[in-house]
């Protein structure tokens, strides 16, 4: 049978924990809806921006500091890890 993508109804989880999500499901089942608002504190916004900035530049700067031999060794180690021996199936 072909894999049909896009046929499932995707509902956002709104970043809720399991009990909040369960409450939302119950309210939807009885026809009531509650507006969900997600508030981000200033601290979480600042930390998010810092992480995004570091993630964009971190790898490039790290690779610029390495020699060609070190980069090659890292690449070979990554390839060996990815394509090395496979775990036996249970």
Q: Which single residue is written with the structure tokens 């200033």?
A: 42
How far apart (Å, rounded) are the C-alpha atoms in residues 82 and 75?
A: 10
The predicted pLDDT at position 77 comes to 93
Which one is predicted more confidently, 29 or 58?
Answer: 29
Looking at residue 39, what is its pLDDT? 65
Calculate mean pLDDT across residues 7-19: 64
- Residue 71: the pLDDT is 92
pTM score > 0.85 for this model? Answer: no
Where residue 68 falls among pLDDT bands split at 50, 70, 90? very high
Under DSSP, is residue 36 helix (H, G, I), strand (E, B) or coil? coil
């Amino acid at each position: 049978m072909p894999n049909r993508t896009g046929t499932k109804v995707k509902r956002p989880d709104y970043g809720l924990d399991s009990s909040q999500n369960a409450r939302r499901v119950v309210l939807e089942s009885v026809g009531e809806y509650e507006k969900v608002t997600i508030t981000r504190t200033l601290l979480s916004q600042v930390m998010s921006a810092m992480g995004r900035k570091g993630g964009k530049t971190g790898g490039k700067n790290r690779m610029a500091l390495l020699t060609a031999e070190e980069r090659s060794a890292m690449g070979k180690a990554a390839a060996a890890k990815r394509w090395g021996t496979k775990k036996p199936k249970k």
